[in-house]
């Protein structure tokens, strides 16, 4: 009788474990619908942990698009950019403790007709799961949360450096020109190393006329800036500029050194410069909520932002 009781108890425990495993697999399959492949769904906030959703939301929607797209894994977590459709299968789920688990997700990248290459179109991925307030949520996918956090930190540093350079150009270079209502610099970075930034920098003054920014004045100031960081804040401490006139090329070669060709190609390409100007001016307008749709240099047609 005692042996039968033990066997029955063991059966109940095994059944319980099996039921828990089945529930976890079912939940993992449900969470697969919110893997941020190509896009981060708004409703994903209910199925991802708060911190994982926050870093993804920052990467997808809070950074300049060209910055985010430097890392294709952000938009193509699983299927890449080949036009396939992800078919998810939960191979297994392993609980690491009472509130954490890791699911192995087998992904078949299928074409529209359902076909796929079993050799090249099948990959296993790892989905981290965390139990929060009684609900299992996705807390990471292939370790990309750490990638996001690292990139956001790098981006914030870059933005802080750019802001310091922009502030310097407005405060120190801007007054050298005929002034308007708004002074907006254009930053074309050539190289960054330690505490120095080499770049092709431009300063423009504008007046607002309706929904158009009319250029008042502007000019080029290329060279090397030295910055100092204090408690996460940067400020420019020195600016060595290329000289005007006959000595311009010689000074540029000396200041830019091995990066001279990059600088020269950047500086001499009007189309690239205007594309950067348009993009950065557009970001300036959007970030300040200005009712501006275009900018216009004297004698030229307006350019839409």
Domain ranges of the chain: 18-142, 155-304
Distance of CA 19 to the CA centre of its chain: 41
Q: How far apart are CA 55 and CA 282, in angstroms?
A: 25
| pLDDT for the residue 170 | 97
Choose the weakest-confidence range: 14-28, 71-85, 244-258. 71-85
Res. 254: pLDDT tops 90:
yes
pTM: predicted TM-score of the whole model, two decimal places: 0.63
- The owner of tokens 């939301």 is 57
Q: For residue 119, which phi and psi values (nearest 5 degrees)?
A: -85, -40
What's the whole-number mean pLDDT along residues 245-268? 94
C-alpha distance across the termini of the chain, in Å = 84
| pLDDT for the residue 211 | 96
User: To the nearest whole number, what is the mean pLDDT of the chain?
Assistant: 87
Q: How far apart are CA 71 and CA 299, in angstroms?
A: 40
Q: What is the pLDDT of residues 141-200, one digit of tens each?
A: 998 888 888 888 777 888 899 999 999 999 999 999 999 999 999 999 999 999 999 999
Burial of 101 (0-12, 13-18, 19+ CB in 10 A): buried
Res. 37: pLDDT tops 90:
no
Q: Compute the Cα dihedral for 183, 161, 38, 132 and give only its sign.
A: negative
Q: Name the percent of the chain lying above pLDDT 90.
A: 66
Q: How far apart are CA 167 and CA 257, in angstroms?
A: 26
Q: How far apart are CA 239 and CA 193, in angstroms?
A: 15
Res. 59: pLDDT tops 90:
no
Angle CA(64)–CA(184)–CA(254) in degrees, nearest 5?
Answer: 90
For residue 244, give the DSSP letter.
S
| Residues near 88 by beta carbon (within 8 Å), at least 6 away in sequence | 29, 32, 35, 105, 106, 107
Res. 4: pLDDT tops 50:
no
| pLDDT for the residue 255 | 97
Predicted confidence band of residue 10 (pLDDT cuts 50, 70, 90): very low
Q: What is the pLDDT of residues 107-123, one digit of tens each?
A: 998 998 989 888 888 99
Burial of 81 (0-12, 13-18, 19+ CB in 10 A): exposed
Q: What is the pLDDT of residues 215-248, one digit of tens each?
A: 999 999 999 999 999 887 899 999 999 999 999 9
Task: List, in sequence order, every beta strand (DSSP E) within the chain.
Answer: 85-97, 100-110, 122-132, 135-141, 182-193, 196-209, 212-230, 233-241, 294-296, 303-304
Q: Which is more confident, 13 or 145?
A: 145
Res. 86: pLDDT tops 70:
yes
Q: Name the percent of the chain lying above pLDDT 70.
A: 88
Predicted confidence band of residue 45 (pLDDT cuts 50, 70, 90): very high
| Residues near 123 by beta carbon (within 8 Å), at least 6 away in sequence | 78, 106, 107, 109
Region of 50 on the Ramachandran plot (φ > 0 left; ψ -120 to 50 alpha; else beta): alpha
* Structure tokens, 275: 């594309």
Res. 293: pLDDT tops 50:
yes
Res. 279: pLDDT tops 80:
yes
Find out whether 106 and 91 touch, Cβ atoms under 8 Å: yes
Cβ atoms within 10 Å, residue 32: 23
| pLDDT for the residue 232 | 78
Predicted confidence band of residue 8 (pLDDT cuts 50, 70, 90): very low
| pLDDT for the residue 64 | 64
Predicted confidence band of residue 74 (pLDDT cuts 50, 70, 90): low
Looking at domain 18-142, which CATH architecture does it have? Roll (3.10)
**Of 178, 181, 188, 161, residue with least CA distance to 278:** 188
């Amino acid at each position: 009788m005692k042996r039968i009781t033990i066997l029955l108890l063991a059966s109940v425990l095994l059944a319980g474990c099996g039921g828990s495993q089945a529930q976890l697999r079912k939940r993992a399959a449900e969470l697969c619908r919110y893997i941020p492949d190509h896009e981060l769904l708004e409703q994903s906030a209910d199925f991802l942990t708060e911190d994982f959703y926050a870093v993804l939301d920052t990467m997808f929607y809070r950074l300049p698009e060209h910055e985010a797209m430097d890392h294709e894994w952000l938009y193509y977590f699983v299927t890449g950019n080949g036009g396939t459709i992800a078919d998810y299968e939960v191979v297994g789920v392993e609980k690491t403790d009472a509130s954490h688990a890791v699911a192995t997700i087998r992904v078949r990248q299928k074409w529209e007709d359902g076909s796929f290459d079993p050799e090249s179109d099948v990959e296993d991925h790892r989905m981290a799961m965390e139990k929060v307030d009684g609900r299992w949520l996705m807390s990471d996918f292939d370790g990309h949360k750490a990638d996001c956090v690292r990139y956001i930190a790098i981006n914030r540093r870059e933005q802080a450096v750019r802001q310091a350079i922009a502030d310097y150009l407005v405060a120190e270079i801007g007054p050298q020109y005929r002034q308007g209502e708004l002074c907006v610099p254009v930053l074309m970075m050539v190289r960054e190393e330690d505490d120095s930034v080499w770049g092709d920098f431009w300063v423009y003054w504008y007046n607002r006329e309706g929904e158009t920014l009319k250029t008042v004045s502007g000019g080029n100031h290329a060279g090397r800036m030295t910055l100092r960081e204090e408690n996460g804040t940067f400020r420019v401490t020195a600016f060595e500029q290329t000289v005007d006139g006959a000595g311009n090329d010689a000074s540029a070669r000396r200041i830019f050194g091995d990066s001279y060709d990059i600088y020269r190609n950047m500086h001499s390409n009007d189309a690239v410069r205007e594309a950067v100007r348009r993009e950065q001016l557009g970001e300036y307008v959007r970030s300040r909520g200005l009712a501006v749709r275009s900018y216009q240099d004297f004698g030229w047609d307006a350019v839409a932002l």
